[in-house]
Structure 1
């Protein structure tokens, strides 16, 4: 598959150029429709809530200008539009890009500095010094800096007229791209047949994973451990100081929400208006956390299948799960040839499916690519795989972050035992999930690092968004984090995908009241799909 992705990357390049007390809340959730939240009416725009209001959030601070940014509007918007994530109709944006110097690892000062990418998104002609709203995305996305521009293109006019949206790249993404794996070793991890879960096959996988660690360590030395959530939390605090604000307003998405939660715990005095969108359960470690995510992915696939069947013509037939399962079986026996003589394997098919589940807007593209692959045409799948495992893709950053954030190291026999169980419980993704547990075994065990925990009793409320069918983390992760912080207000969205904001009026209404009016929900909220 590696050579096919190289060819596709070249073709696309040409085209592009021409968030006290710990415990569950006793308040019942409020089911709402649209913007009909049952909390008290918000204050008039611009008027702060009463200081005694327990739902009040800190007023946003004006910011200093970030130095060294230059206009990148045309390139950023063109890329987002080509990816189907351009601004909504009538939305004009001005985008500036640059980099910020940060320590490679604050725990290892001798390593010196590195840079993370920043993007500032405003409306054209926006006044200087608008309060910042920092976006920290998931490592599985194409850099948080670019994600900030995508978010700014979809949020309400009220949010965009109140804030300048600042995207901060995660370590290993965007301007700080991690690309250190030997191509053949990376391909071996991606392409491993999901049926190969015997101890011998997993031992061979361990050897390939060891080759990745060795090459990455040779390139990065001690810096290899810096690709982790706690360092992202340190980067976020550096951005706050650079902006000159006392309290920072932040939206964290996916594992970016995990990093923001760790930052809020470590820097509670810096917490402003904070939204944690799709976090995982900070109390879970492997193999439990991987099992949680695998269960969530299976449930998300069921929603994908339901959505396909509900359309006028589902290209995957009346039983998409059966169709995809059969496709994976056929490709496991005989990989799909590509025009350049390479092949698409069963492992790659499952990677493409699991990646595609994160964005429901791309489900039609995913179903069409799977249907075409069933007819022998792998082009659609290659397009989905390129950002994941192709040159300049997200694979290395995702692997390093996952291995650095969890201290658990499993042996091939332990993973084989899990695979035997997970194949029955999670028939589509269970075997591959067990295989992935071995890929972290050669990585140096990370030093203990701060995780999300209870916030002080006087900390402002934190909005925690949970999605019922998030393929990356189950809803229980958001529920547990909201309980753990003691300050969390849960907004539960009965939808699908990673990241609930700003997908529906109900979710957007709750978040906008927090970000713009400074009022968190008085009780937990349930939003319809």
Structure 2
């Protein structure tokens, strides 16, 4: 019977490999079944009287954290009120500074738990992370305003912030003037070479931050994964159920690769491969941002939005003015680009509402009223412009381009992606001086099947990482299925209610859908 079970397992993996190889290009080469609530209990069976082995149960903590109600504070920080009947609670736990390298010291990791009046008191939690894209604790309330609250009927959700971000111990190490100049990509400084100007500022910022940190090597994906292991051991549970979105998917995959026996569920939403280089990652995100802008412009025109019959031309004109130092309220082009991409990547309301909101803000700024656009800028900076975000992002980057290569990309990407390309290229300069971490390795073994998700128009990480991560899952001996959403945003699980049925089914018993799932925009 053991031999038969192994043969069935290998046959299942081989079938998944054949299926995914046929669709290895970004998106799906063969349209999968439309989203459905059925078909979530597939998989090979063997003739045996014993129940088939499944993934570990999602267990309740034997020794929980000390939670304190923080519904009002977290909701206010996220700009989204908690849904009726939902409570947010905050806690922290101490994690070793460097469990990988063996260094000394500890730091505080923040967590936020969401539960509702219908959440069973003895239910095990689902752990949620968005990594360094933005604090997990700020994305959680936005998710709960969509379909994330559906999970609370079975499990509480615990969002874990990366080191130095959100509710974890904050880090402030850059001079405020350097932080501002990095935000503006030194647009308003003298000199003809923006790469050299920005490089000089980031060198100072890097020196200041590495001097301020007890261990600058302890802020990468691998160490963030070890923080999840510390949470697991603190809870005294055998395994974690993980949902990682964007960079959070890399964190979750790092944990799963290092601790394959301690994973109950693994959902990788909008992932990037652990071993992707800095330039490739930047170009994938840039392509996703361009796709998102195109969708925004089409939706805007179709709804007769405030930007007029050619919204893309209106956005381009606004960006050109900013490049020429005539930006609204004196904004640099980098600040304006970051605000637009952040608004597209983390939409508020449904697609039509977010399109209208962004269009109204941009149009008002064209007319001289930059108030609404300034609020978008402030929200983007608060979520993506902190020193903790700078440190974590740079710690994850490797195979960085040279300054001369960045100069080439400023020109090449500026032509290929005229709205966002030059800004994306210059952003690569920000981490050029950061000490390089050891190159990560892909997981050699995964002991649970993996649910992969992705958004067709993802302006934060792009969409190409889903297919590459599917190959990683196969190579690690596991099976995966994909849920692909055709909308705009960073995370199908966050922004598409259609993605929730297969997610809930997988969380329930660990069974993947029988087929890939297609979710319309």
Which TM-score bucket, shorter chain as reference? 0.7 to 0.9
Aligned to 1:500: 492
How far apart, CA to CA, are the structure 1 residues paired with 2:38 and 2:215?
47
Q: Secondary structure at the match of 2:237?
A: coil
- Normalising by structure 1, report the TM-score: 0.84
Given candidates 255, 259, 262, the residue that maps to 2:251 is 259
1:131-170 mapped onto 2 (5 Å cutoff) = 131-141=124-134, 143-155=135-147, 159-170=151-162
Given candidates 502, 511, 522, the residue that maps to 2:503 is 511
Q: Secondary structure at the match of 1:59?
A: coil
Aligned to 1:349: 336
What is the CA distance between 1:401 and its match in structure 2?
Answer: 2.0
1:121-132 mapped onto 2 (5 Å cutoff) = 121-124=114-117, 126-132=119-125
How far apart, CA to CA, are the structure 1 residues paired with 2:485 and 2:336?
29
How far apart, CA to CA, are the structure 1 residues paired with 2:102 and 2:434?
22
What is the CA distance between 1:410 and its match in structure 2?
Answer: 2.9
Q: 1:142-199: CA deviations, max 9, x gaps?
A: x213433443454466621221211111122112333222121122222137899998
Q: Does 1:287 align with 2:285?
A: no
Aligned to 2:81: 86
Asked whether the 8 Å contact 1:253–1:279 carries over to 2, the reply is yes
Q: Does 1:407 align with 2:398?
A: yes
1:456-467 mapped onto 2 (5 Å cutoff) = 456=446, 459-467=447-455
Distance verdict in 2 for CA 1:197–1:501, change over 3 Å: farther
Q: Does 1:61 align with 2:59?
A: yes
Q: Secondary structure at the match of 2:17?
A: coil
Asked whether the 8 Å contact 1:233–1:262 carries over to 2, the reply is yes
Given candidates 178, 181, 206, the residue that maps to 2:174 is 181
Aligned to 1:71: 69
Higher RCO, Cα 8 Å, sep 6+? 1
Distance verdict in 2 for CA 1:198–1:415, change over 3 Å: farther
Distance verdict in 2 for CA 1:282–1:199, change over 3 Å: farther
Distance verdict in 2 for CA 1:383–1:475, change over 3 Å: same
1:238-317 mapped onto 2 (5 Å cutoff) = 238-311=230-303, 313-317=304-308
What is the CA distance between 1:359 and its match in structure 2?
Answer: 2.3
Q: 1:99-144: CA deviations, max 9, x gaps?
A: 1101122245444011011112212485544201011114232x21
Asked whether the 8 Å contact 2:284–2:463 carries over to 1, the reply is no
Q: 1:374-406: CA deviations, max 9, x gaps?
A: 11222222211223335x863323322221112
Asked whether the 8 Å contact 1:97–1:118 carries over to 2, the reply is yes
How far apart, CA to CA, are the structure 1 residues paired with 2:277 and 2:14?
20
1:463-474 mapped onto 2 (5 Å cutoff) = 463-474=451-462
1:90-109 mapped onto 2 (5 Å cutoff) = 91-109=84-102
Deviates more, 1:347-356 or 1:56-65: 56-65
How far apart, CA to CA, are the structure 1 residues paired with 2:503 and 2:183?
37
Structure 2: 5+ residue runs without aligned partners? Answer: 1-9, 23-29, 44-49, 349-353
Given candidates 313, 323, 334, the residue that maps to 1:322 is 313
Deviates more, 1:517-526 or 1:29-38: 29-38
Asked whether the 8 Å contact 1:57–1:520 carries over to 2, the reply is no
Given candidates 396, 416, 439, the residue that maps to 2:387 is 396
Given candidates 468, 471, 489, the residue that maps to 1:480 is 468
Deviates more, 1:300-309 or 1:377-386: 377-386
Q: Secondary structure at the match of 1:68?
A: coil
Distance verdict in 2 for CA 1:211–1:480, change over 3 Å: same
How far apart, CA to CA, are the structure 2 residues paired with 1:525 and 1:289?
25
Deviates more, 1:240-249 or 1:362-371: 362-371
Distance verdict in 2 for CA 1:41–1:483, change over 3 Å: closer
How far apart, CA to CA, are the structure 2 residues paired with 1:212 and 1:358?
27
Aligned to 2:46: none
How far apart, CA to CA, are the structure 1 residues paired with 2:200 and 2:236?
47
Aligned to 2:425: 434
How far apart, CA to CA, are the structure 2 residues paired with 1:206 and 1:23?
49
How far apart, CA to CA, are the structure 1 residues paired with 2:279 and 2:433?
16
Distance verdict in 2 for CA 1:167–1:66, change over 3 Å: same
Distance verdict in 2 for CA 1:273–1:208, change over 3 Å: same
How far apart, CA to CA, are the structure 2 residues paired with 1:526 and 1:215?
47
Q: Secondary structure at the match of 1:466?
A: strand
What is the CA distance between 1:58 and its match in structure 2?
Answer: 3.3
1:190-209 mapped onto 2 (5 Å cutoff) = 190-192=183-185, 200-209=193-202
How far apart, CA to CA, are the structure 1 residues paired with 2:189 and 2:292?
24
Q: Pairwise CA RMSD of aligned residues?
A: 2.8
Asked whether the 8 Å contact 2:147–2:497 carries over to 1, the reply is no
How far apart, CA to CA, are the structure 2 residues paired with 1:464 and 1:337?
40
How far apart, CA to CA, are the structure 2 residues paired with 1:201 and 1:498?
30
Q: How many residues align?
A: 485
Q: Secondary structure at the match of 1:275?
A: strand
Q: Does 1:526 align with 2:518?
A: yes
Structure 1: 5+ residue runs without aligned partners? Answer: 1-19, 43-49
What is the CA distance between 1:345 and its match in structure 2?
Answer: 1.6
- Normalising by structure 2, report the TM-score: 0.85
What is the CA distance between 1:94 and its match in structure 2?
Answer: 2.2
How far apart, CA to CA, are the structure 2 residues paired with 1:167 and 1:152?
12
Aligned to 2:443: 453
Q: Secondary structure at the match of 1:130?
A: coil
Distance verdict in 2 for CA 1:39–1:162, change over 3 Å: closer
